[in-house]
Structure 1
Amino acid sequence: MILFQLSHAAEPIQVDDGYTVSKRFEKYRKLDTTISLPKLSFTEGQLVEFDLRYAQVGQRELHLDLFHAVPNKPSKGLIIFIHGGGWRAGNKSHFYPLANLLAQQGYNVALPEYRLSIAALYPAAVDDIEQATQWLLNHSSELGISTSPLIIGGGSSGGHLATLIGFKNNKQAHLLTDKPIPLYNAVINLDGLLDVTSELALKFENRKGNDSALAKWLGGRYETIPDLWHQVSPVNYINEDAPELLIISSGQARFTAGKDKTKRLFNENGRTITIIEHENIIHTFWLFEPYLTNLAADIAEFLMDVSKIEQE
């Protein structure tokens, strides 16, 4: 962990640099010699906007990066991707390669930063991502982007956050009238937990007790604050209004704990779920080739089949 002074911040912001692409690459290439770091190639007229401020919390500014759909393709809507890092680390730049490929497919792709557990506990991250979404919807005209269909996705802890927000918003939208709540047409979950209270999830979280990533984000282990753990389990928000769901799994069951229950509840509620399960590949497969290019193709194919393309 390092502590540094951001140029746009009035006070230091703690950053955990334990999860970086380079560290993952060094770790995983010993296990998978086929992986390589992706290279971004831009098409003529492609537009990317970096560090757009979407909110200020106290003295902390929050920013997002926006990959515009390439100009020679009809816009296919907006995807918001949430980076992973155990709710504690990571950076929005981790999704640059995937965002670039999807922008070239015709999607606008936004990558927000959010307050991590080292800076603020739950629900800060959820609040930030929801605020980023609303900012994009409010400023879509001046940004020149289409926001329908509206899709949210992420990898690992970012996949959990995206699924939690997508499911929760769609379930609660009809219950709350005091503020606008975005309805998501689809969720993309890349190796993200679906039920953090399942036996499988707790098996791994309890190994570190209060030092587990979830315990540090929520402020305590499951045995001390079970209600809060249930509150952040996406599976508890599935109903007939759930967005269509794409799960892409590395094949390591621990990272999609709750997948079978989610599938059952989706089927019971008549919702569409698509599951692509690899055979035990590296966890953060979205960061590296040869998985990245195939992943972008799988996402684009799924989104072509998303039936609900307008917000209700």
Structure 2
Amino acid sequence: MTTLTHENDVHEDDAGDSDDRPKKAHRRWFKTRVTLAIIIAVALIVAIIGAITPWPSAMVIRAVFTQGGDATAAEMEKHVPDASLTETLDVAYADEGVDTTMDVFTPASATGPLPTIVWIHGGAWISGSKENVDPYMRILAAEGYTTIAVNYTLGPEGFYPKAVHQINEALGYIDEHAADLGVDPTQIVLAGDSAGGQLASQMATLITSPDYAEIMDITPALSADQVVATVLNCGVYDLAALAELDGIVGWGFKSSMWAYAGTKTWAEDSSGATMSTVNWVTEDFPTTYISGGNGDGLTWLQSIPMADRLNELGVDVTTQFWPAPHEPQLPHEYQFHLDMPDAQTALQKTIDFLGANTTQP
């Protein structure tokens, strides 16, 4: 009797579990459907917002670039020589807050004005800051130069050509306050990396091509004889070629340009056209150092074609490129990764180029 009762209990319990299974499965499926619905809804909202504004994509890209920029600056910091420098940080060249400030470095031993390198930082036009290149400015200043790292308004907080106008203002301020800043205004080198390389090439084109300055409706703050050279690292000079990119890289550049230009049609209108300095440079463009890593697609798509174009025009060009199979593959902005011997090679070649094209007191 006890055994029978036990068997009946087990049978009844099993029956109860069997009755509950469909209910539990239904509840689980209901929760799954709710979760899927939420995910789909969020994805749709993000897609809709992303189709209307570049802000979400730009902020994601900015976050990634900021992390990388901070890490690269820390890597460079280890290679700053133990030299005595005078540093004047956050100099306001206009009245738009941190966007219009610059950092100035000069050897403490300087007794007069020095040839000056004005560096425009990169970051896909939507990220980065002067602090990212300050260690590199200290390295070059220790070689006997005044070096200046310039901030400008990023997209999408400000739209093209606002940054161009700001950098022109910065050059005007540097020229006007040359004595106070330790600047020889007759020996200015315009320099930049990545998006900053594009901007440096754009400023040099403005200064050396009256026709281009007229198209841009900008009066250059410097005259052509004040700019003795340009240094262009891993830059962008042909926006039409950029627009042809696909995949994650294409998405990143197209999102960045939408945020910077303020329009999705940047590749078809004046933004892309006037930013494409490869189409506007003339034989009066300053003597140029140009470089890019062999593992960086922009080298093959942008830097080498720009160097070729300048050579065609008869501009004096110094290049630092590597063969395609070179190992290790050198990435975008390789020149700042000074733990790498190839970056040290590029740094020395840059220093040699500056020495050949400037005269120190």
Note whether the superposition's TM-score is higher than 0.5: yes
**1:210·1:216 contact (CA, 8 Å) conserved in 2?**
no
Describe the superposition over 1:45-94 as per-residue Cα deviations: whole angstroms up to 9, x where unpaired. Answer: x201000111014x776210001145269865111111111100111111
1:4-153 superposed matches below 5 A: 16-20=62-66, 25=71, 36-39=75-78, 40-44=80-84, 46-57=85-96, 62-71=100-109, 76-153=114-191
Aligned counterparts of 1:60 and 1:112: Cα–Cα separation in 2: 10
**1:81·1:154 contact (CA, 8 Å) conserved in 2?**
yes
Q: Kindly indicate whether residue 224 of structure 2 is the aligned counterpart of residue 181 of structure 1.
A: no
Describe the superposition over 1:141-197 as per-residue Cα deviations: whole angstroms up to 9, x where unpaired. Answer: 122322332111111111111112112321128976995531322111110112111
Aligned to 1:149, the other structure's residue is in SS state strand
Q: Which has the larger radius of gyration?
A: 2
1:203 equivalent in structure 2: 245
**1:73·1:105 contact (CA, 8 Å) conserved in 2?**
no
**2:207·2:213 contact (CA, 8 Å) conserved in 1?**
no
TM-score between the two structures when normalised by the length of structure 1: 0.79
Describe the superposition over 1:220-269 as per-residue Cα deviations: whole angstroms up to 9, x where unpaired. Answer: 34576333211111112211211111111012453243334433332332
Structure 1 residues 204 and 170: CA distance shift in structure 2, 3 A: farther
Aligned to 2:282, the other structure's residue is in SS state coil
Shift of 1:43: 1.9
Structure 1 residues 117 and 296: CA distance shift in structure 2, 3 A: same
Root-mean-square deviation (CA), in Å? 3.2
Structure 1 residues 122 and 80: CA distance shift in structure 2, 3 A: same
Aligned counterparts of 1:132 and 1:178: Cα–Cα separation in 2: 14
Aligned counterparts of 1:173 and 1:138: Cα–Cα separation in 2: 25
Q: Kindly indicate whether residue 308 of structure 2 is the aligned counterpart of residue 264 of structure 1.
A: yes
Aligned counterparts of 1:87 and 1:99: Cα–Cα separation in 2: 20
- Of structures 1 and 2, the one scoring higher in RCO (CA 8 A, sep 6+) is 1
Aligned counterparts of 2:112 and 2:75: Cα–Cα separation in 1: 31
Larger mean Cα displacement after TM superposition, 281-290 or 127-136: 281-290
TM-score between the two structures when normalised by the length of structure 2: 0.69
Larger mean Cα displacement after TM superposition, 148-157 or 251-260: 251-260
1:6 equivalent in structure 2: none
Q: Kindly indicate whether residue 270 of structure 2 is the aligned counterpart of residue 231 of structure 1.
A: no
Aligned counterparts of 1:49 and 1:238: Cα–Cα separation in 2: 34
Q: Structure 1: where are the runs of 5+ without partners?
A: 1-13, 27-34
Aligned counterparts of 1:209 and 1:93: Cα–Cα separation in 2: 23
Larger mean Cα displacement after TM superposition, 144-153 or 100-109: 144-153
Aligned counterparts of 2:204 and 2:307: Cα–Cα separation in 1: 16
1:5 equivalent in structure 2: none
Larger mean Cα displacement after TM superposition, 248-257 or 222-231: 222-231
Q: Percent identity?
A: 21
Q: Kindly indicate whether residue 353 of structure 2 is the aligned counterpart of residue 302 of structure 1.
A: yes
Structure 1 residues 100 and 124: CA distance shift in structure 2, 3 A: same
Q: Kindly indicate whether residue 261 of structure 2 is the aligned counterpart of residue 218 of structure 1.
A: yes
Aligned to 2:147, the other structure's residue is in SS state strand
2:285 equivalent in structure 1: 242
1:283 equivalent in structure 2: 332
Aligned counterparts of 1:204 and 1:102: Cα–Cα separation in 2: 37
| One-letter amino acid of the structure 2 residue matched with residue 212 of structure 1 | S
Structure 1 residues 21 and 37: CA distance shift in structure 2, 3 A: farther
Larger mean Cα displacement after TM superposition, 250-259 or 128-137: 250-259
| One-letter amino acid of the structure 1 residue matched with residue 276 of structure 2 | S
**1:69·1:103 contact (CA, 8 Å) conserved in 2?**
yes
Shift of 1:202: 2.4
Aligned to 2:263, the other structure's residue is in SS state coil
Aligned counterparts of 1:247 and 1:51: Cα–Cα separation in 2: 28
Q: Structure 2: where are the runs of 5+ without partners?
A: 1-57
Aligned counterparts of 1:180 and 1:36: Cα–Cα separation in 2: 36
